[in-house]
Amino acid sequence: MKTKLTALVISIVTISTYTLGRLAFQGLTDLLQKVVGLRAETVAAAYVDAIEPTWFEKVEVTGDLDQEHQRLQEHFATLIQAGYINRVEVIRFVDRFSVEHILSVPADQSADYIPPGRVEQVPEEDLYAQRSAGYHGVLLEDGPALAGWIPVQRDGRILGMLIVYIDASETQEALSTATLAILIVMAMLILLSGLLAYKASATFEKAAVTDGLMGIYNHKFFKQRLEQEVSKSARYGQQTSLVMADIDFFKKVNDTYGHATGDLVLKQLAKWVTDTARNTDVVARYGGEEIGIILTHTGLAGAQEFAERLRLKVSQQVVKDPEEDAEFRVTISVGVAQWEKGVSFLDLVKRADAALYHSKHTGRNRVTIYQEDILPAPESQAKTS
């Protein structure tokens, strides 16, 4: 009986160790993929400026390459030779679900090579159809790779994508050499490493979308989420509202108490907004001292009520900075806009911003609901009040 119980315990421990080891192993795999994938995306971001949007719009892919086309081929070929990347592709969006390949380096005629000029359909769920920066594992003829892409834009309009491929075969080989014996013998170490990997992965991912000073989402994440919520509104008819809030006379705070106190005010504002918002709302730093709040499943009345609560809450707070012996209050101006059919996420931002600056120029410490007769403030006034 004792032998059977011992065997049962050993079996349970062995199975549990193996299972936990596999989970830890998966955590390491996810982290390594993110590191390599983000590197591919970073390389694409670093070199997308080499593409001139005006040329990108008008280029005609023919047998005879124009001077700019040839320059880009040579430029990316040099990078590949230097060991940065394995392949570069440039695609242009023909319409919503079609892309045209206008550059592929190296032009080695391998199975992975796509000749310039080819137009192909892109499924709606395809990664490129999202038209936003990202990365994903792919399989090339010579092995696994991580593809990272960055949109080519002009005046806010996405024209196409620059895609780079980084070899991931070494990563895969390193992971595949781990055997069952190693997982069992090093069970606790692998488990700990896996847990740390998951934590590091989550921390890394959070840091990538978090503003370092205010501790809320950053501008990049704000745009991505707002575009997603507007798409949901257009598809499913759900209500989405946007609130933009900006500190009144923030420059005066910096001039009077110093930038350290100004940073303290920004941190406090982020906390006040976060405390007022729901868990489902998205609070992000839009820029400078301006905060954007995406209110999901919320109509204009609810957004106005939230904005008034936030404005009142901020006006009642006292900012205390012992180091500067400072104690004062601040107020905010707020603009509110609700998504309407046919309005893009960028237009929604412009509407909320226009309402915000209307509050600025009509007395401050107030909430304005966007109306068609409210025009956006000139860029020269954007950060002076």
Token pair listed for 352: 């909320």
Please name the residues in contact with 374: beta carbons below 8 A apart, sequence gap of 6 or more: 354, 355, 358, 368
Indicate the CATH number of 12-208 among 3.40.50.970, 3.40.50.720, 3.30.450.20, 1.25.40.90.
Answer: 3.30.450.20
- CB count, 10 Å around CB of 328? 13
Buried b (16+ CB within 10 A) or exposed e, 241-250: bbbbbbbbeb
* Whole-angstrom Cα Rg for the chain: 26
Tell me the pLDDT tens digit for each residue of 191-248.
555 454 445 455 556 678 888 899 999 999 999 999 999 999 999 989 999 999 999 9
Alpha-carbon gap, residue 118 to 101, rounded angstroms: 6
Relative to beta strand 367-369, strand 240-247 is unpaired
Cα 276 to chain center, whole Å?
Answer: 24
Residue type at 310 in one-letter notation: L
Residue 328 pairs with which residues in a beta bridge? Answer: 319
Tell me the fold of 219-381.
Alpha-Beta Plaits (3.30.70)
Tell me the pLDDT tens digit for each residue of 323-346.
878 889 999 999 999 999 999 999
Residue pLDDT tens, the chain, 385 long = 444 444 444 455 555 555 655 565 555 555 555 555 667 778 788 888 888 888 877 777 665 567 888 888 888 888 777 666 788 888 888 887 788 888 888 877 677 777 777 888 877 666 666 677 777 766 665 667 777 888 888 887 888 888 888 877 666 665 555 444 445 555 554 455 545 444 545 555 667 888 889 999 999 999 999 999 999 999 998 999 999 999 999 999 999 999 999 999 999 999 999 999 999 999 999 988 999 999 999 999 999 999 999 999 999 999 998 887 888 999 999 999 999 999 999 999 999 999 999 999 999 999 999 988 776 554 444 444 5
Domain regions of the chain by residue span: 12-208, 219-381
